[in-house]
Structure 1
Amino acid sequence: MDAQMAFLIGGGIPALLGLVFWSVGFFMTKGKKAWINTKGIVIDNFRASGDDNLRPIFQFEDNKGVLYEVKSKVGQRPSIKVGTQVPVLYDPKDPSRAVIDTWLQSGRGFLLFGNIWIGIGAAVLLIGFFMTA
């Protein structure tokens, strides 16, 4: 394997991996700027089929005082302990659409992780370009 191919693989794989994580984070955070912040509480955890991570179930009240219960779409380990107060973001047009507003649950962690891997991949590709040119 020549040096150009090594740099292409060494930089391309992390960049592609980063792009996948960044895309997941982008779609998880898309459109949530108009959502409302409130506080909620984790009332339980559940395990989706085929998933080793626990997903929190949380309750919160919207700005009209209506109580909602939401199962998170994001599993994590360790799980958020039952009884923990958590920041919540919810869609004012449909409060049943809500997320726990932490870096992992909201998708911001996917964006960060994706950006890091894209940066590593880009750096390796640039180094390879200048070293083999």
Structure 2
Amino acid sequence: MNKLYPIQLWLTTIILVAPLLMILAGLVNNEWNMGFEVLLLFVFFGLAFSLPAFLVCFAFYKILTVKISSPILIKILLNLIIVGAVLITFALISGSLAFRLSIVYSASVVIASLFYSVKRKEKHSSL
């Protein structure tokens, strides 16, 4: 089992994928065009505001890996749980960008989940 999966997913989503999606959105739509310092603020606040979602993800990961043997099913259920947490977080924060940002962060979770596997290959020692 990949014990680091929840933290890998969380950090990759907030630090890498979401800022890249925001940069791409800025290339398509001028409303999303922001400077590097604004992206750093999104990373900082993203880490802070997503901490409860990470804790929920971590708890459900522990439960799902015990109860379910299919790594794909674990990923799908975990992604649904995290996307739900993202939507709840942005609903509580609200604001003019809340809907758009919830889409960006939800898509980022799904994309980041493709980078890592739930189960690691076991190393076999040859004697």
Same fold (TM over 0.5): no
More strand by share: 1
Q: With the length of structure 2 as denominator, give the TM-score of the two structures.
A: 0.27
TM-score, L = length of structure 1: 0.26
Point out the structure with the larger helix share.
Answer: 2
